[in-house]
Amino acid sequence: MVDPTETEGPYPADGSNGSRGSLVNVLSQSGVVRSDLRSSFGGMSGTAAGLPLTLKITLVNVGTNCSPLEGYAIYLWHCTREGEYSLYSTDLLNQNFLRGVQATDSNGECTFVTIFPGCYDGRWPHMHFEVFRSLNTAGSYTNKLLTSQMAMPKDMASAVYAGVSGYSASVSNLSRVSVTSDNVFGDNTSEQIAWQTPTFTGDTTNGHTATISIGIAV
């Protein structure tokens, strides 16, 4: 199925809005094309702490029996373990970690190394992404083919938040929200939520590996 379109939210840093009165477009910065998102780049320094997560994405064309799409670009971004966003949160204005772009290979696949995102008040734990036709067109939000979000599975989120240092605030935040009450995922069908939720393996000691397919019609 085609991934449902979801809002990019207030912290995309894709050229569609600003932070502290200045336009923010991380997509135009040298170094944004990378696999490991945990550290800042392009003259900024700093590393986001948290449980390691390797995310493997497969991009498919649902119009041709889910054949893999090669050479497309995926921009991924998400919050820190504390629930903050680089380039927007007051203490992270000089950081751009947990953001990056990868191109899909001949199997329609790309891999990001990041951390498990925290849960902040009012939102189910999630990651944001945008899909572009190529790396060359991935310099601005105006060229995106899809904007959506991934929902983290509850069992994984609960285990990480309860068992990994630094995620303590996420425990209470998660207890106050559900997929159905979330203002993004709440209006989706169970089939859509299943499609938007990665499959996880691993543990809270060594980290997780997650896989997900993203479907678009081209």
Please state, rounded to an integer, the average pLDDT across all residues of the chain.
Answer: 97
Confidence of residue 59 (pLDDT cuts 50, 70, 90): very high
Confidence of residue 7 (pLDDT cuts 50, 70, 90): very high
Tell me the average pLDDT across 135-143. 97
pLDDT recorded at residue 16 = 97
Rounded Cα distance, 75 and 97, in Å: 13
Tell me the average pLDDT across 95-109. 98
3-state secondary structure of 97: coil
pLDDT recorded at residue 1 = 84
Tell me the average pLDDT across 64-79. 97
> Given the DSSP bridges, would you call strands 99-103 and 109-115 parallel, antiparallel or unpaired?
unpaired
* Range 64-68 contact pairs with CB under 8 angstroms and sequence separation of 24 or more: 66/213, 66/215, 67/108, 68/104, 68/106, 68/107, 68/108, 68/109
Tell me the average pLDDT across 195-216. 97
Tell me the average pLDDT across 103-122. 98
Q: Is the pLDDT at 182 greater than 90, yes or no? A: yes
3-state secondary structure of 88: coil
Percent share of the chain, pLDDT over 90? 98
Using N-to-C axis directions, what is the helix angle for 168-175 and 154-163, rounded to 10°? 140
3-state secondary structure of 189: coil
Tell me the average pLDDT across 17-45. 95
43, 109, 169 from 72: Cα distances, Å: 27, 9, 36
How many helices and strands in the chain, by DSSP H and E? Answer: 3, 11
Q: How many C-beta atoms surround the C-beta of residue 97 within 10 A?
A: 23
DSSP state of 29: S
Tell me the average pLDDT across 136-141. 96
